[in-house]
Structure 1
Amino acid sequence: MLYSLHELAYHSASPFRIGAQMARQFWNSPFNPAADTAVGRTAFASAELFEGLTRRYGKPAWGLETVTINDHTVRTTEQVVWSSPWVRLVRFARHIGDLKRAGKPAAAPAVLIVAPLSGHYATLLRGTLEGFLQDHDVYVADWVNARQVPMLEGRFDFSDYIDHVRDMLAVIGPRAHVVGVCQPGPPVLAACALMAEDNDPNRPASMTFMGSPIDARLSPTETNQLAEARPFAWFKSNMIHTVPWPYPGFGRRVYPGFVQLFSFMSMNEERHIDAHRQYFENLVNGDGDETTRHEDFYNEYLSVLDLTEEFYLQTIDIVFQQHLLPRGLLEHRGRTVDLTKITDIGLMTVEGEKDDISGVGQTQAAHGLTPNIAEDRRVLYVQPDVGHYGVFNGRRFRDEIYPRVRDFITANESLCAVPERAKTAA
């Protein structure tokens, strides 16, 4: 019912939104002599703010047609190399000629970046990919909005997520490197353990976890406390809703992205209100740079996707309530996930000192859970003065975190006899 009411509210606001768009065009027209007056700028800002707050934000474009490497423009080609109803494995192949001009080799370590499936699209990691494209052949798990997946495609749960990680690593080929950003930490670590136990030739050469709840019992944040304070039945009764018609996933039970967005925004309500108040003032004052920065951020932040009921509820149960992986009790299709089987996969953990989503200690717990990894193949790093988002995006990521991850991957690449695979530029 909530999902249907949400859709009704959106469509009911359509006439007002159209009116706001018309007003915005009128008050921003160069042919309107009053456009540059205080009244005109205020009217334009009001229409712009209303339209932005009531419109629907679809999946953003990657916008990675080019990246800058060593002050040279390097073209990239977005290639979907594998897909299922639930994810697209996207490769950003760099142009060989451009790489040569930038002084970079055509061949590079292959890196799979597993984006979080927790409410936002994988494009939230655009800055992360820009960093890794400096030195690597980059693949990303681009998850699909559950409301777009027809019921005939069946379920997608925690075990399916683990299987998808294995499938994507198999497509990339032997001894690639995997990076789990935030939510993927536990299922990616589980997939690596299973691959190690199977002596799978496609097991990664290294795994890097950034701001991940490997053991959410440590340094619990407000998010962790909420997950533990409520009984499991409460999440099933209050957080799961049915996708309405006419979406392809009509009838599917999901954790809606707009519910997750409301939860995140309510945690920092005053900050978001202040940001929009400042945005209004910048529109009135004609501060284009600041308004563009605001729009770029919220165009991404307000774009959300739905999670399947089974994946969301199992994540709550496995990761945040029972803590099965760090307790050694996680089972995958009848097999116990044994983290001690990981012996020849390097491990790096990255945390933010001010992370309010995954507290310091939750990610680095992976080191204590994998005792058979050699010490010279481990890196534990805590970045001062950054929160959760700063662990994988922004200036501190570019200047301080990424260089350390790059060096870690390079060191582990040299320790593995990596056969030729699809890791060259386009």
Structure 2
Amino acid sequence: MRYMATYDLMESLRNTNQWLGASALAFASYPATALLPVPALSWMRAWGEVTERAFARMVAKPDWGIPSITGPDGCDHVVEIETELSRPFGDLIHFNISGRPPSKRRVLLVAPMSGHYATLLRSTVISLLPDCEVYITDWHNARDIPVSEGKFDVEDYTSYLVEFMQHLGPDLNIIAVCQPVPLALAATAIIAKDNPEAQPRTLTLIGGPVDPDANPTEVTDFGRRVTMGQLEETMIQRVGFKYEGVGRMVYPGLLQLASFMSMNADKHTKAFTDQILRTAKGEASDRDRHNTFYDEYLAVMDMTSEFYLSTVERIFKAREIAENAFMVDGKHADISKITDVAVKIVEGEQDDISAPGQCLAALALLTGLPEDKKAAHVEPGAGHYGIFAGRSWRNNIRPLVLDFIDTNTPKMRKRAANSNAAA
């Protein structure tokens, strides 16, 4: 029970700040206060509104909020979220567009388990839905998973990916974003070795740490500067009695959020100060740019302690993927066994989380893959977020990825060749 008190203390601080915001908003919103021409009351109301919303979002899983999709028939089609496979630590979900024939481009988005929910990729999903049949890994908050379900580390994560990929079949296109890039590569290697016929068609790896030492950043070099004992002592806590996962050792989402925000403290402070000013002047709205971003950014989830610690120890410190020495259940995930999966690397020139070169290292490990099945793209001026969800993704990277998928899809390649011949 050593760390349960600190877990509950953080939750109590969050709850207290939410209550203070709600109290300030309620007090400053009394009708009688309108009789008092005191600007401080307007500021109090604005501060309360922004504060209550911010701290409330920290424990709420965001909704997908996927809008209807306009199909080839010109009609709007409702998007239904269906669970394909349900597992204790994560589900495989499908965005089924009702009334539209299934798309020939079948895409599995591998979402990160790095503090945020899979909804962080909402805009990525929305951008792909008109042209693809989209599936995604929807990881669960560790605080809500009973201890009786056992552990979940990088090997379990990889095994989940193998199961999801085999369930969806070989005509699949994988897009892995950030943290799961090396594990998606390992999962593909396991399938290539054990069941070559089930290999996915393409594998697109976006901004992930295949080799953290290829071009170290402050984030990826963190694992080098601290010992595993220090991490376990300072980052790991035990879930309190409020949640189903009571007693489970986790890296708390609130602690992760504190780390995220400390990296750009000035930027976040200015963003909230400006939002309070806009709210006081009546210029803010429920779905303005600030709220849209921070509703997602502040929604954090706990990850199991074994997943966090094994990620640091095996991916960053020991560089098991970079050394092609990664083992899952005692079996070598030999990346050189990948021989028939087209692989594309996408990096951002200004990525300060997984810098250019870290993800590109995957191509050197693919010694069994022909060169004509390898591709790479560095997006000029793009940061980490932009390469999978921002303007760079929408305008430049997404078309390149779809073209890469089509080029490596036999029927689509044939159709493109016939079109060119007809032209």
Point out the more displaced range, 195-204 or 320-329. 195-204
Q: Report if the CA contact (8 A) 1:17-1:55 is conserved.
A: no
Q: CA deviation at 1:73?
A: 3.5
Residue 421 (structure 1) aligns with = none
Gaps of 5+ in 1: 100-104, 418-426
Whether 2:259 is the aligned partner of 1:263: answer: yes
Do the aligned residues in 2 keep the contact of 1:86 with 1:149 (CA within 8 Å)? Answer: yes
Q: Say whether the 8 Å CA contact 2:162–2:190 is kept in structure 1.
A: no
Separation of aligned partners in 2, 1:11 and 1:161: 32
Counterpart Cα distance in 1 of 2:81 and 2:36: 41
**Matching residue within 67, 70, 74 for 2:77:** 74
Q: Which aligned pairs between 1:270-285 and structure 2 lie closer than 5 A?
A: 270-285=266-281
Structure 2 residue 55 is the aligned partner of structure 1 residue 59? no
Amino acid at match of 1:52: R
- Measured after TM superposition, the shift of residue 174 of structure 1 is 2.4
Indicate the percent of aligned positions where both proteins have the same amino acid: 36
8 Å CA contact 1:23, 1:47 repeated in 2 = no
- Verify the 8 A CA contact 1:283 1:291 in the aligned structure 2: no
1:92 matched to 2:88? The reply is no
| C-alpha deviation, 1:68, in angstroms | 5.0
3-state SS of paired residue (2:107)? strand
**Higher mean C-alpha deviation, range 74-83 or range 7-16:** 7-16
Is it true that 1:356 corresponds to 2:352 in the alignment? yes
Q: Is the 8 A contact 1:279 1:291 kept in 2?
A: no
Are residues 1:368 and 2:367 paired? no
Which range moves more in the overlay, 42-51 or 234-243?
Answer: 42-51
Cα deviations by residue, 1:148-179 (Å, 9 ceiling, x for unpaired): 00011111111111110011112212221111
1:44 matches 2:40? no
Match of 1:6 among 6, 10, 18: 10
Distance across 2 between alignment mates of 1:286 and 1:35: 18
Q: How does 1:99-118 map to 2 (within 5 A)?
A: 99=100, 106-118=102-114
Of residues 183, 187, 199, the one that matches 1:187 is: 183
Q: List aligned pairs for 1:275-314, cutoff 5 A.
A: 275-288=271-284, 292-314=288-310
Structure 2 SS opposite 1:124: helix
CA change 1:370–1:8 in 2 (3 A) is: same
Match of 1:144 among 137, 140, 143: 140
C-alpha distance in structure 1 between counterparts of 2:210 and 2:104, whole Å? 29
Match of 1:250 among 246, 255, 266: 246
* Aligned mates of 1:318, 1:196 — CA distance in 2: 22
After superposition, what is the alpha-carbon deviation per residue over 1:44-77, rounded to whole angstroms, capped at 9, x for unaligned? 2122133234434300000014235688643211
- Determine whether 1:387 maps to 2:383: yes
- Could you tell which deviates more after superposition, 321-330 or 166-175? 166-175
What is the SS of the residue equivalent to 1:160?
A: helix
Number of matched pairs: 407
Deviation of 1:246 (Å): 2.1
> Match for residue 419 of structure 2?
none
Flag the 1:413–1:22 CA change in 2: closer, same or farther, 3 A.
same
| Aligned counterparts of 1:320 and 1:289: Cα–Cα separation in 2 | 42
Structure 1 residue 94, shift from structure 2 partner:
1.4
Deviation at 1:37, TM superposition (A): 8.3
Deviation at 1:24, TM superposition (A): 6.0
- SS of 2:188's partner is helix
Change (3 A) 1:415 1:237: farther
Contact 1:193 1:342 in 2 (8 A): yes
**Aligned match for 1:212, one of 203, 208, 214:** 208
Q: Which moved more, 1:273-282 or 1:119-128?
A: 273-282
Contact 1:122–1:141 at 8 Å: present in 2 too? yes
Q: Does the residue aligned with 1:152 lie in a helix, a strand or coil? A: helix
Residue correspondence of structure 1 range 223-234 to structure 2 within 5 A: 223-234=219-230
| Per-residue deviation, residues 362-404 of structure 1 (Å, max 9, x unmatched) | 0111111102222222220011111111111122211111000
Kindly indicate whether the alpha-carbon contact (under 8 Å) linking 1:24 and 1:48 is maintained by their aligned counterparts in 2: no
Provide TM-score, normalisation by structure 2: 0.90
Aligned in 2, Cα 1:169/1:52: closer, same or farther, shift over 3 Å? same
Whichever residue aligns with residue 11 of structure 2, its letter is E
Do the aligned residues in 1 keep the contact of 2:69 with 2:77 (CA within 8 Å)?
Answer: yes
Could you tell me which residue of structure 2 aligns to residue 422 of structure 1?
A: none
Q: 1:83 maps to which residue?
A: 86
With over 3 angstroms needed to count, the CA separation of the structure-2 counterparts of 1:406 and 1:25, relative to structure 1, is: farther
Are residues 1:341 and 2:337 paired?
yes
Q: Secondary structure at the match of 1:248?
A: coil
Gap regions ≥5 residues in structure 2: 414-423
Partner of 1:407: 403
Q: In 2, distance between residues paired with 1:166 and 1:260?
A: 28
Partner AA of 2:310 in structure 1: Q
Distance 1:25 1:166, change over 3 A: farther
* Distance change in 2, residues 1:289/1:156 (3 Å): same
**CA deviations over 1:270-312 (Å, ceiling 9, x no partner):** 0001111111121122223697210111110000011111111
TM-score, normalization by structure 1: 0.90
- Rounded to whole Å, the distance in 1 between the matches of 2:48 and 2:322 is 51
Look up the equivalent residue of 1:245 and give its one-letter code: F
Paired residues of 1:145 and 1:307 also in contact (CA < 8 A): yes
Q: Secondary structure at the match of 1:362?
A: coil
Query: What are the superposed Cα offsets for residues 62-99 of structure 1, whole Å, 9 maximum, x if unpaired?
Result: 00142356886432111011110111111001133xx5
Q: Using a 3 Å threshold, how does the CA distance of structure 1 residues 174 and 288 change in structure 2: closer, same or farther?
A: same
